[in-house]
Structure 1
Amino acid sequence: MAGFALTAPKRTIFGRGARVTASAEVAALGARVLLVRGRSVAWVDALAGDLTRIGCRLETVFTRGEPDLEDVRSAVRAARAHRADCVLSVGGGAAIDLGKAVAGLSPSEGDVADHLELGAARTLELSTPLPFIAIPTTAGTGAEATRNAVIGVPERRAKISLRDSRLVPDLALVDPALTDHSPRALTLASGLDAVTQLVESYLCTRANPVTDALCRSAIPSAIAALHRLMKGEDSKARDDMARASYLSGIALANSGLGIVHGLASVIGGRGAAHGAICGRLLAPGLAVNYEVLKQQTGSVARFHDVEDWLAKGLGVSGESGNRALRRFVGANGLPDLQDLGVLKADVEAIAELSLSASSTRANPVVLTRADVIRVLDLA
């Protein structure tokens, strides 16, 4: 058996109601806290009040969407001015990625761009990051369990990851109740992001026994939970999706992804929402990878596993799971590629750029530009 390593949060607290321990857990890691948060979850105000009452000094940074270079620079300046000794992120993947980047960059030399792979220049190594706590309020990105922070680079119309195994949160506190009653469109897009991460981690060339076990456990329950949530609010389904999101983060941090995320990194750099892109591209990506892999090696057993899980989770019998997935995303109002900003005139350039994306390197089979264009055409 080939060897493997496992990266995961140093500590995880998972469960409905787990947020009641949050203030004590944060205070144990630092007294001068940089709080990175969104504005949509009222509970964060209560958490900030609790932290202040027990003696913590807070400085707050509000996110304004997926972070770009200037957002990171501004937040790093705030952390340094506050002399933060830990970073707490409460929110979706954007808030967690911003906090993760600040935890790594505020003790480090140089500009954020010096630590990203932006060209031929050697990237600077991070100093030891500040303690970092992630509390997700959406179920999708799995950022509370990953080693990377995705940062937009507007001048390149791209998203590039700041990567370091030390960026994995010191504490991931996951309370599924924080996702209850999330807007339906957000639930769909973020849920499809988690499903895509699990599926690509399972199919990729870097899968290992641990990631296989996580993905086999999570994919069937995740797609079934998302199916239920499109019909109505369901606390058990919220719990299942929060679990799937967390496990998807561990899976991708320890294996890899594939062409869907390779394309999403390019398309997302043009401003489209990551989860919606993944959801729209997953079925076409599976179809093209299956065709090419079958022609080259015939080793497609894992694709049949995914087909079966999708079909069962979406409640279909005697029909392709891939076809059921395509119908599911369309019937529930996921934006199409044109709505996500993909113009026909840009397809060839997007396909070319996606071939060199870091996520594409672990795709289960080497694709040509024509293959990737076919993925986009099918979507």
Structure 2
Amino acid sequence: MTPFGFSTPGKTLFGRGRADEVCGHVQGFGTRVLLVRGRSVDRVDDIARELVQTGAALKTVFAEGEPTVAQVNQVVAVGRARKAQTVLAIGGGSVIDLGKAAAALIPSDSGLMDHLEVVGAGRPLTAQPLPLVAVPTTAGTGAEMTRNAVISVPDASLKVSLRDDRMYPTLAIVDPSLTDNAPRHVTVSSGLDAVTQVIEPFLSCRANPLTDALCQSAIVMGLQALATLMRREDPDARDALSYVSMISGVALANAGLGAVHGLAGVIGGKTNLAHGMICANLLGPTLDVNFQRVKADGSDLSRYDFLRQTISDIFDGWGDQNFTALSDAFDLQGVPGMDAILADQTQANALIQDALRSSSMKANPVHLTEADALTILQNSLPR
């Protein structure tokens, strides 16, 4: 058996009602609290009030979309000025990434660009991050379980990571009730991101026995939950999708991702499309190209056979079609397509070259060529 390592956050709490425990845990890390949050979940207002009532010196900052270099620098400056002792991040993946970046940099005497990959110096952190409590309100990115924060760099039209083994949250609290009644398009796009993030590690060239055990059951659970939530609101399906999202973070942190995220990271840096929506469009075409390449190499197809059978069992009518037809099975109603991606061939070529150099591509099950990447993009467009 090939040797491997396995890492997770310091502690994880999962289940309905666990959000009621947030304040007690946060106060255990210090009374000067920096709250990084989104605006869409009313429950966060209750948590903020409870923190103040129980003696916390609370400073709240609102995340605005996906974190940029400028926003990270602004939040870090606020945290340093307030001498924050702990960071509480409550929201979607972008909010948690902003919180992770803030917790990582507030104690440091260096700046973000000293540590960013690709566009920065990529150096390790110079100080231990502040304690971070991460509480997701969407079921998609699994950011509460990872050791990196994805940052948008508008000047370079890229999204890159701030990454360090010490950036795992000190505590992740996953309460599925915070995702109840999310809009359908958010549920589908973020849910497909979560499913993609258990499929890609399952197929990854870095897969290991622990990630395999987690991913195989999570793939089935995630697809079943999505099939249900496309039709109706269902608390059990919300629970399942939150679990899958949590597992997806563990899986990608330990086995890597693949071409869907290699392309999605670059596309996200060059467009205003949300990450989950990009993954939703890329998943089927990427699976199909990878399958064809693995088949041509004469390699083991059992993992693709498992995916094909699982999809056929859950989505009536999908049958034995190619993976590109997943878009039809998922019925991406309300999920914007990527019609403009190939409008400019020069831009498309540059996008492909950037994607092939991305860290996610290194875990893809096969080495993809520029022609392979172009095929994926072409097949992701509306037919």
Q: TM-score by structure 2 length? A: 0.95
- Equivalent pair of 2:324/2:379 in contact (CA under 8 Å): no
Query: Could you tell me how far apart the structure 2 residues matched to 1:106 and 1:234 are?
Result: 40
1:289-300 mapped onto 2 (5 Å cutoff) = 289-300=290-301
Greater Cα offset, 3-12 or 115-124: 115-124
Cα deviation, 1:45-95, whole Å, max 9, x if unaligned, reads: 110111111111100110000001000000000100110000000000010
- Aligned-pair distance for 1:157? 0.4
- Equivalent pair of 2:174/2:242 in contact (CA under 8 Å): yes
Aligned position for 2:93: 93
- Equivalent pair of 1:220/1:312 in contact (CA under 8 Å): no
Note closer, same or farther for the CA distance 1:279–1:34 as it changes in structure 2 (3 Å cut): same
Aligned position for 1:367: 368
Query: Could you tell me how far apart the structure 1 residues matched to 2:82 and 2:316 are?
Result: 52
Greater Cα offset, 27-36 or 311-320: 311-320
Query: Could you tell me how far apart the structure 1 residues matched to 2:126 and 2:348 are?
Result: 36
1:50-61 mapped onto 2 (5 Å cutoff) = 50-61=50-61
Query: Could you tell me how far apart the structure 1 residues matched to 2:338 and 2:60 are?
Result: 35
Aligned position for 1:249: 249
- Aligned-pair distance for 1:295? 0.9
Aligned position for 1:349: 350
Query: Could you tell me how far apart the structure 1 residues matched to 2:188 and 2:60 are?
Result: 29
Q: Using the aligned pairs only, state the percent identity.
A: 47
- Aligned-pair distance for 1:108? 1.3
Query: Could you tell me how far apart the structure 1 residues matched to 2:197 and 2:93 are?
Result: 14
- Equivalent pair of 1:69/1:112 in contact (CA under 8 Å): yes
Greater Cα offset, 19-28 or 238-247: 19-28
1:226 match: secondary structure:
helix
1:143-154 mapped onto 2 (5 Å cutoff) = 143-154=143-154
Note closer, same or farther for the CA distance 1:116–1:286 as it changes in structure 2 (3 Å cut): same
- Aligned-pair distance for 1:337? 1.1
Greater Cα offset, 103-112 or 144-153: 103-112
Note closer, same or farther for the CA distance 1:266–1:323 as it changes in structure 2 (3 Å cut): closer
Greater Cα offset, 164-173 or 68-77: 164-173
- Aligned-pair distance for 1:33? 0.4
Is structure 2 residue 280 aligned with structure 1 residue 279? yes
Aligned position for 1:141: 141
Structure 2: which amino acid aligns with 1:244?
Answer: V
Aligned position for 1:174: 174
1:269 match: secondary structure:
helix
Aligned position for 1:233: 233
Cα deviation, 1:190-237, whole Å, max 9, x if unaligned, reads: 000001111001001100111001101100010110111111111110
Q: TM-score by structure 1 length? A: 0.96
- Aligned-pair distance for 1:323? 5.2
Query: Could you tell me how far apart the structure 2 residues matched to 1:51 and 1:119 are?
Result: 38
- Equivalent pair of 1:314/1:325 in contact (CA under 8 Å): no
Query: Could you tell me how far apart the structure 2 residues matched to 1:242 and 1:192 are?
Result: 12
Aligned position for 2:216: 216
Cα deviation, 1:308-344, whole Å, max 9, x if unaligned, reads: 22222324474337255220344533221116x5535
Aligned position for 2:3: 3
- Aligned-pair distance for 1:241? 0.3
- Equivalent pair of 2:113/2:120 in contact (CA under 8 Å): no
Structure 2: which amino acid aligns with 1:35?
Answer: L
Task: List runs of 5+ in structure 1 lacking aligned partners.
Answer: none
The aligned length equals: 378
Task: List runs of 5+ in structure 2 lacking aligned partners.
Answer: none
Query: Could you tell me how far apart the structure 2 residues matched to 1:233 and 1:131 are?
Result: 35
- Equivalent pair of 2:129/2:167 in contact (CA under 8 Å): yes
Query: Could you tell me how far apart the structure 1 residues matched to 2:246 and 2:26 are?
Result: 19
Is structure 2 residue 16 aligned with structure 1 residue 16? yes
Cα deviation, 1:90-126, whole Å, max 9, x if unaligned, reads: 0000100000000001111222011112358462534
- Equivalent pair of 1:147/1:164 in contact (CA under 8 Å): yes
